[in-house]
């Protein structure tokens, strides 16, 4: 089941992507929450109701007639993992981490599939990172690895867009990883039952049709259960939290010379069984200035 958030006729709500059509859950199952975090919080019964709506084969909207939003408009937390593929650790000239290297992307960086993200006015060093992202489905704490999959609602794609000069000029990554529009997600959350093994997925990234990243999630250093155990040792994970699991080699910053993104570029990330996430790049618009 491919869960989406979309806007149509002026309202934003959740649905299920089914090929080129969409099941509008607010019409098919009116008692369900219309917002993804609330839907995930409603747990297995909501998932079952959504699955019934899909199988009932009721009226559909055409994918072409809706606007896709970030599947989670504002994730409670976005907990990203750095240096989690050996080949990326090598290209970055770093040592293999002993512990997962966690950093936050701010909730406000979540961005829809298909909409362009911003080349900042304040930096030319814009880069992409194709990543598998885990979506948490249950409020949880102290989850042992062997029970980790119980708290996973599903998986999506994340472009962990990075502003490299801001990322590395101080010891923490936060300022370089959290610019508005710099966390494209989607297009859908693929429910966990359709992803029996998240560590066997081909991951590829293209820029303007040129293949830049080609790997497989089997190369993750810290696997999904280890990440969930590690994170939940410290704090509560909540429905709608997103964990981008790290990127393989092939980012623009380490090319010689570096190939940073330019306005007009198009970044496409494909993960087998999950989908394709494609976003263009535009100059940061003048109207991002907002005071009061
Ligand atoms: Zn990343």
pLDDT of residue 42: 97
16 CA to middle of ligand 1, Å? 27
Q: What is the pLDDT of residues 122-167, one digit of tens each?
A: 999 999 999 999 999 999 999 999 999 999 999 999 999 999 999 9
Measured CA to CA, the distance from residue 55 to residue 238 in angstroms comes to: 28
Helix, strand counts (H, E) of the chain: 7, 19
23 CA to middle of ligand 1, Å? 32
Could you tell me the domains of the chain? 2-68 (2.30.30.230), 78-288 (3.90.850.10)
Of 45-59, 70-84, 142-156, the one with minimum mean pLDDT is 45-59
Cα–chain-centroid distance for residue 278? 12
Beta pairing partners, 69: 5
CA atoms within 13 A on the CB side of 141: 3
138 CA to middle of ligand 1, Å? 24
Cβ(181)–Cβ(279) below 8 Å: no
Token readout for 265 is 């570029």
132 CA to middle of ligand 1, Å? 10
251 CA to middle of ligand 1, Å? 10
Measured CA to CA, the distance from residue 216 to residue 218 in angstroms comes to: 5
Cβ(131)–Cβ(112) below 8 Å: no
Q: What is the pLDDT of residues 23-37, one digit of tens each?
A: 999 999 999 999 999
10 CA to middle of ligand 1, Å? 33
Beta pairing partners, 268: 206, 278
48 CA to middle of ligand 1, Å? 33
Residue 177 has pLDDT above 80, yes or no: yes
Token readout for 57 is 């084969």
pLDDT over 90, % of the chain: 95
Decide which of 58 and 64 is more confident.
Answer: 64
Decide which of 18 and 59 is more confident.
Answer: 18
pLDDT of residue 279: 98
pLDDT of residue 58: 77
């Amino acid at each position: 089941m491919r869960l989406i958030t979309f806007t149509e006729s002026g309202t934003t709500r959740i649905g299920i992507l089914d090929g080129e059509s969409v099941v509008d859950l607010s019409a098919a199952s009116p008692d369900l929450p219309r917002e993804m975090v609330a839907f995930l919080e409603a747990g297995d019964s909501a998932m079952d109701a959504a699955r019934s709506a899909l199988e009932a084969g009721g009226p559909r909207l055409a994918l072409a007639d809706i606007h896709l939003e970030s599947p989670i408009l504002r994730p409670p937390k976005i907990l990203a993992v750095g240096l989690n593929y050996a080949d990326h650790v090598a290209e970055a000239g770093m040592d293999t981490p002993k512990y997962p290297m966690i950093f936050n992307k701010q909730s406000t960086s979540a961005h829809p599939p298909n909409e362009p993200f911003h080349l900042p006015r304040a930096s030319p060093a814009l880069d992409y990172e194709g990543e598998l992202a885990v979506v948490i489905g249950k409020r949880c704490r102290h989850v042992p690895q062997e029970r980790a999959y119980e708290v996973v609602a599903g998986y999506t794609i994340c472009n962990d867009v990075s502003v490299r000069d801001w990322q590395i000029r101080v010891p923490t990554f936060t300022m370089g990883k959290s610019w508005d529009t710099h966390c494209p997600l989607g297009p859908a959350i693929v429910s966990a039952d359709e992803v029996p093994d998240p560590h066997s997925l081909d991951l590829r990234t293209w820029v303007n049709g040129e293949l830049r990243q080609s790997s497989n999630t089997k190369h993750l250093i810290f696997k999904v259960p280890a990440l969930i155990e590690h994170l939940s040792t410290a704090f509560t994970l909540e429905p709608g939290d997103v964990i981008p699991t790290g990127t393989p080699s092939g980012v623009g910053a380490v090319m010689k010379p570096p190939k940073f993104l330019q306005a007009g570029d198009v970044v496409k990330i494909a993960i087998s069984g999950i989908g394709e996430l494609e976003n263009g790049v535009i100059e940061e618009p003048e109207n991002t200035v907002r005071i009061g």
